[in-house]
Amino acid sequence: EEQKGNLLPKIASGELRLQAFGVSEPNSGTDTLSLETLARPSADGSGWLVTGQKMWTSRAEHSDLMLLLARTGAAGTPRAKALSTFLVDMQAAKADGTMTIRPIDAMINHSTCEVFFDEVRVPRDCLVGSAGDGLKNVLSGMNAERILIAAECIGDGRFFIDRAVNYAKSRKVFGRP
């Protein structure tokens, strides 16, 4: 609740941009439970240190914050309970050199990137929910994201149809409309 109280007003006003969702990885494909990005407790107990890589992270270049799914469970932990969700301050991580973002050239309607984590520090209070609830958090968020992407695609389709119609109406062929 404290996270919501601090962050939601800033996100809603546009002061902070939460647009990046770090789930997919190069070696896990669609098997989310096999992801390798690791979040381990920091030695001083102040939070977590994240190491790994994410692929196809939408809008990473334009986001202040990222929702990140990372492995926190020890060996032998059931796969579905070995993942946790974190809210990562991307601006701070880029500033201290522990996060690198590389754009991926793709023919989609928004930017997408690879994101590399090299001991990114995440404060303890940036764990979303409880440790081990990451898969549950991500699945509930993905349903909403799929609806948003579908709506975005419908809007894109309308835009391109309108553009094509206007072009066809104004185009002259052999001197005639």
Q: Catalytic annotation on 145?
A: yes
pLDDT at 53: 98
Contact 110, 151 (CB under 8 A): no
Question: What superfamily in CATH does domain 1-170 come from?
Answer: Butyryl-CoA Dehydrogenase, subunit A, domain 2 (2.40.110.10)
Catalytic member of 15, 36, 145, 152: 145
Strands of the chain (E only): list them. Answer: 18-22, 38-41, 47-58, 65-71, 83-89, 99-104, 112-123, 127-128
Report the alpha-carbon distance of residue 106 to residue 110 in Å, rounded.
9
Report the alpha-carbon distance of residue 122 to residue 49 in Å, rounded.
6
The 10s digit of each residue's pLDDT in 88-142 is 999 999 999 999 999 998 777 678 899 999 999 999 999 998 999 998 888 877 7
Report the alpha-carbon distance of residue 33 to residue 149 in Å, rounded.
23
pLDDT at 5: 86
Q: Where are the domains of the chain?
A: 1-170
pLDDT at 109: 66
Return the percentage of the chain with pLDDT > 90, whole number. 57
The 10s digit of each residue's pLDDT in 27-62 is 997 888 999 999 999 999 999 999 999 999 988 999
pLDDT band at 72 (very low <50, low <70, confident <90, very high): very high
pLDDT at 91: 96
Closest by alpha carbon to 68, among 120, 7, 5?
120
pLDDT at 172: 87
The DSSP letter of residue 76 is T
- What mean pLDDT value characterizes the chain? 90
> Does residue 144 surpass a pLDDT of 80?
no
